[in-house]
């Protein structure tokens, strides 16, 4: 007996995002492949022009290295594609399962690599505690808002850690998640400290080894 499971299509408002991320992945894969093939062709020309045994040996090592890089990049693109597809499927499930509620998104910080931190204000009634959300975390699905906008909000529960989808007046979706602002600010401070420590260690290493080389 064979069980047939039909794949649930994405919500219509997310289909453009799905096409966008697949197109970006194809372009990224093509760019990396062309870069690797160009490097390999350059090494082949040098090896056969010099007709040196050492050059041919180096060519063989480069070919093995390139094959490893191609396999690694292919694996990373596959993982990224699955992660993005999972995010879109989760957002599609929210749009299908949750009843929309009118809300206002008010950005309170400038856009960063993580996205935009915004205050979520349901128009039907203020929650007991201020609710904050990180819009477009980890990936630029759509440009995050710069000013306060009214949206249709889809979320199972406005508690930290829960995913949300906000449909803008033009129907363009914004993906995000509810966060605890105190914990988020603490995490950002820790990341900045770690980045400064790594930068200081790198500069110290360059200074020490540069001094030894002289």
By residue count, the chain amounts to: 214
Name the residue among 121, 129, 114, 136 with its Cα closest to residue 184.
Answer: 114
**pLDDT reported for residue 62:** 74
The percent of residues above 70 in pLDDT, for the chain, comes to 84
Strand partners for 167: 152, 173
Q: Is the pLDDT of residue 213 over 60?
A: no
**pLDDT reported for residue 152:** 92
- pTM: predicted TM-score of the whole model, two decimal places: 0.71
Domain range list for the chain: 12-96, 100-186
Mean per-residue pLDDT over the chain, rounded? 81
């Amino acid at each position: 007996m064979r069980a047939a499971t039909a794949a649930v299509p994405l919500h219509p408002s997310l289909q453009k995002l799905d096409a966008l991320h697949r197109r970006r992945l194809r372009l990224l894969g093509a760019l990396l492949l062309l870069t690797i093939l160009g490097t390999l062709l350059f090494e082949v020309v040098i090896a056969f022009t010099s007709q040196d045994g050492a050059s041919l040996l180096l060519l063989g090592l480069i070919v093995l290295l390139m094959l490893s890089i191609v396999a690694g990049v292919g694996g990373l693109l596959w993982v990224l594609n699955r992660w993005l597809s999972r995010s879109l499927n989760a957002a599609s499930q929210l749009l299908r399962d949750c009843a929309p509620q009118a809300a206002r998104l008010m950005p309170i910080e400038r856009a960063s690599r993580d996205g935009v931190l915004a205050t979520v204000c349901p128009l039907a009634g203020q929650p007991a505690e201020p609710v904050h959300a990180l819009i477009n975390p980890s990936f630029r699905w759509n440009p995050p808002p710069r000013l306060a906008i009214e949206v249709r909000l889809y979320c199972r529960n406005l508690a930290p850690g829960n995913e949300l989808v906000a449909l803008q007046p033009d129907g363009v979706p914004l993906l995000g998640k509810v966060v605890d602002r105190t914990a988020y600010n603490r995490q950002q401070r820790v990341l900045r400290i770690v980045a400064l420590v790594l930068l200081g260690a790198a500069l110290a290493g360059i200074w020490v080894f540069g001094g030894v080389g002289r």
